[in-house]
Amino acid sequence: MRMRLLQGNEVVLTRKQLYMLPNRFGLMFTALIFVLLLAAINYNNGLAFGLTFLLASIAIVSMVYTHNTLSGLHITAGPQSPVFAGQTARFALIIHNRKATSRYGLQLEYEKKVIERFDVHGNDFRLAKIPVTTHSRGWVPSPTFCLSTIYPFGILYSWSRKIKLDQRYLVYPTPASLAPDPPDATVESGDTGGNHKGQDDFYGLRSFQKGDSPRHVSWKTAARGQGMYTKEFNGANNETVWLDWQALPQLDIESRLSILCRWVLDAESQYKHYGLKLPGHTIIKPARGPEHQHVCLKVLALYPGHS
């Protein structure tokens, strides 16, 4: 029987979506009960019968506990932050316990591995993240995962059907590590000076973000073990640079996107104004800031031609 995926914006786990079987410790427990039963029969020992039946009853009662741990959980997608292809995306889930009793020993499973164990208190929620390796740019659908538990005694394993939320996340192109210099900046505000000028005036340090050019990493602080920082420069506030597809004529699509991506990041980190020109009249006017960077990268991520 192939299990049907659970899909939707919000998935609520009910009896129909949950399965339960004894795990290997459960099989050991069953064997133990049989051994105890044999001993009780052999010695005709009333209390040994009692002990045997007690353990069997405990196993049966614990089935209800195991089931209730998963039953009634609400699962929705959390806020997703985009990553660059090749990086590990962290797909965020919100697991909401709407009952007043705490649920212990929940397990998040992805690709047949337990990737996180957590408890959710009564009327509380929990943010969990699934690390997903990304390979290519564009929209990526939610990973297929499931929730499971071995609560309360580790002898019963209950798991949900595979869940795939209606939520996709964006993967930017991989920023090229070796990129040609961007096209010459046109200085719109009338300032003269090359595009390198901006790198002269050291402005300060900010913490390292993914996609920052390795050229700008403050390796000194990193070597001192103080963490990764990126140097910021403010020399070129008024420079405007057009990042143009046509500037890279002899390369294939993905490489061009990769280089454009690198240029966007560099321009942003150098506090330049930058605009994007792609074939097919896609033009993004020059601007600056995280919003603008996202718009540019998104366009690059979704550029057609990707298999």
Partner 1 sequence: MNRYPLPDKRSFNWLTIATLLASAPYAFYLPPWIFPTFLGLLGWSYLIERQGWQRPGRTLLLTLLALFLVLVLRQHQTVLGRDAGLSLLLLMFGLKFLELKTLRDHILLTLLLFLLILGNLLFSQSLGLALHLTIAVIACIATLSRMALPSGMGAITRIRLSVGIFLKAIPLMIVLYLLFPRLQGGFWMLPGSSTGTSGFSDTVRLGTISRMVKSDQIAFRVKFDGSVPPAQQLYWRGLVLNHTDGRQWQRNQQNVGVIDTFTPTGPPVRYELMLEPTWQRWVFALDLPGDAPGGVRHQPGYSLETTALIQERVSFKISSFPYYRTPALTAITRQNSLQLPRYISTRITKLVDTWRRDAQDNPQEIADSALRYFRQQKFYYTLEPPLLGGDPVDEFLFDTRRGFCEHFASAFTTLMRVAGIPARIIVGYQGGEFNEAGNYLIVRQQDAHAWSEIWLPQSGWTRIDPTSAVAPERIEYGLDAVQQFQLQGLDYSMLTPSQRNQALRPKWPIFILDNIQRYWDAGNVLWYSWVLDFTAERQRQLLDELGFLTSSVMNQLVAVAGSTLLFFALLTAVMSRNKQRVDNTQKLYLQYCKKLERVGLRRRHNEGPLNYMNRVRKSRPDLAQMAAQVADLYIELRYASSCNGQFVKRFKRMTRRFKPNPIVGA
List residues near partner 1 by CB under 8 A: 25, 28-29, 32, 35-36, 38-51, 53-58, 60-65, 67-68, 71, 98-101, 104-105, 113-119, 121-126, 150-155
Task: Give the residue from 272, 273, 277 showing the smallest Cα distance to 260.
Answer: 277
Per this entry, what is the length of the chain? 307
**Which amino acid does the sequence have at 208?**
F
What is the smallest separation between the CB atom of 73 and partner 1, expressed in angstroms? Answer: 13
Dmax (CA) for the chain in angstroms is 102
What is the smallest separation between the CB atom of 103 and partner 1, expressed in angstroms? Answer: 10
Tokens of 189: 């505000």
Q: Cα–Cα distance between 259 and 15 in angstroms, integer?
A: 51
Q: Cα–Cα distance between 160 and 147 in angstroms, integer?
A: 6
- Residue 243: phi, psi to the nearest 5? -95, 110
What is the smallest separation between the CB atom of 5 and partner 1, expressed in angstroms? Answer: 23
DSSP annotation of 175: P
Q: Cα–Cα distance between 149 and 126 in angstroms, integer?
A: 16
Place of tokens 């051994």: 35
What is the smallest separation between the CB atom of 181 and partner 1, expressed in angstroms? Answer: 44
Q: Cα–Cα distance between 297 and 265 in angstroms, integer?
A: 9
Q: Cα–Cα distance between 152 and 167 in angstroms, integer?
A: 32
Q: Cα–Cα distance between 114 and 71 in angstroms, integer?
A: 19
What is the smallest separation between the CB atom of 94 and partner 1, expressed in angstroms? Answer: 11
Question: Which 3 state secondary structure label does DSSP give 272?
Answer: coil
